[in-house]
Amino acid sequence: MRSAVPQHQTNQQVSYSCWFNACYSFSALGFLRPLSVAVQKNNFRRLLRTVEAVSDLGPEITAEREFPQTARAMVSALMQAADAREVALFSFSDKPSMLVSIASDGFALMPEPAIIPLLPRHVHALITARGPVVLTSSSYSIFLSSNGNVAPELFRCIAPLKVGGKLVGMAALGRREADALYAAEELDALDLLCNYVALAIQNHTLAQSLAQRVGENLRLMASLHGFYDTALEAFAAAIDVKHINIHGHSLRVGRYAAGIGEAMGMEPGDVAALRSAGYLHDIGKVAVDKRLFGKPSALDPEEFREMADHTIVGHQIVSGVQFPWPRIPEIVRSHHERGDGSGYPDGLVMDDVAMPVRIIGLADTFDAMTSERPYREPLSVGSTLSEIVRLAPQKFDPNAVQGLLLQVRRDAVGSNRAPFLEDRTGLNIAPGDIDQLAASLQHKISHGRMYLT
């Protein structure tokens, strides 16, 4: 629970400050003036009891504990200070205006929670009341309505709880021993204690409202993320609508890239970013002549340049968009770069290209090789992986390739909950062959021409 006093104050300090405030308040009220005359024996005992209750309450309301426990401690302190047999503590909530019980003790019949709806005139009367009020048969209806699940007649005395002039709750007292009336001493003691109780309830209400808002924001963000994913999937499908040969390409690249990232041990947020980047990596193809996608032979140099420009056009498109993942423009531009500088559009080498870009480049290549083209049949998964391992680490990042091998192997042994390759080209490679490829890749990294740190 949030403290009603500054966090840097210790419980001991709280007790001291409560003691000081209690003494000061009682002085101001005339209890200690002059001590020998005005303070009768009973009043002095009451004063001590109240100060004790205030001192005890400080640590209670500043302790890190559940609020119901603190509320029960506040009820005990109120019983002690006002010498009451029955006490209920309510918090006030607006819209609609009502009092809801948070703790009670001594009442034979007190529902949990007890609810008292309030009309505007009740709220006004509680806010303008100057301290605790002894209720009479004619004054119940001024402060409380009878429309709740508890009869106001149970209460003999009420103390509106206010912070900064705002109503935050109410302490309601029932009978005392031998049905004694609440006299000025009890009301003064109650008034003093209620300042602390009001602060504790307000802090709790604020903490609850903050938690509720954070929860609402998280739910909103989650729904936005869901919406975002769905929107990007639709976008990916729209990018690939140009020709039957590339149908589903962007969605698959998103799925492969996310799978590779996951196999490499990336955080869930980074994996989600890879999936989205895969969906959007070819966005520049919306500007490429549809005819080029269905050409039954290899592209001539002019056509190749137009096709290659999809990286630059795509970069221009996404650069003006505020994505939750900052690398999207970089990925869109550089996913055709290769480790040895043979890629396009900028001829970057491996060290110039970030890992997410390398992963998208690998996922894109894997899907392109295993897909049918107008001028060739699709390569099998086994042949594609052999070729990729042959080209690593010069063209492809070896760690990303290891991630790809791991995911395909999981498919081969049936350990992937959601298949990595889904309905893609039939898996024609045995786990042992994938292990051989992995060993070959490892050998190239550790004993071949390139050493990685």
* Sites of contact with Fe ion (CB under 5 A): 282
Rounded Cα distance between 170 and 215, Å, is 28
Nearer to Fe ion, 58 or 356 (CB): 356
Nearer to Fe ion, 238 or 439 (CB): 238
CB of 277 to Fe ion, least distance (A): 12
Nearer to Fe ion, 156 or 281 (CB): 281
CB of 314 to Fe ion, least distance (A): 8
Nearer to Fe ion, 282 or 411 (CB): 282
Helix (H) or strand (E) holding 249: helix 249-263
Nearer to Fe ion, 335 or 424 (CB): 335
Rounded Cα distance between 134 and 90, Å, is 17
Is the Cβ–Cβ distance between 201 and 102 less than 8 Å? Answer: yes
Nearer to Fe ion, 282 or 367 (CB): 282
The Cβ of residue 164 has, within 10 Å, a number of other Cβ atoms equal to 7
Residue whose C-alpha is closest to residue 281's, from 245, 322, 303, 252: 252
CB of 280 to Fe ion, least distance (A): 11
Nearer to Fe ion, 33 or 290 (CB): 290
In sequence order, the β-bridge partners of residue 341 are none
Torsion of CA 185, 189, 192, 194, to 10 degrees: -120
Q: Which residue is nearest to Fe ion (CB)?
A: 282
CB of 252 to Fe ion, least distance (A): 13
Is the Cβ–Cβ distance between 62 and 11 less than 8 Å? Answer: yes
In sequence order, the β-bridge partners of residue 162 are 167
Task: Provide Rg for the chain, Cα atoms.
Answer: 37
The Cβ of residue 199 has, within 10 Å, a number of other Cβ atoms equal to 18
CB of 234 to Fe ion, least distance (A): 19
Helix (H, G, I), strand (E, B) or coil at 349: strand
Rounded Cα distance between 242 and 287, Å, is 10
CB of 393 to Fe ion, least distance (A): 21
Rounded Cα distance between 238 and 241, Å, is 5
CB of 369 to Fe ion, least distance (A): 13
Beta strand extents in 118-243 (DSSP E only): 133-134, 157-163, 166-173
DSSP symbol at 88: E
CB of 239 to Fe ion, least distance (A): 10
Nearer to Fe ion, 262 or 282 (CB): 282
CB of 310 to Fe ion, least distance (A): 6
Helix (H, G, I), strand (E, B) or coil at 298: coil
- As given in the structure block, the two tokens for residue 257 are 């890239």
Nearer to Fe ion, 115 or 308 (CB): 308
User: Alpha-carbon torsion 21, 26, 30, 36, what sign?
Assistant: negative
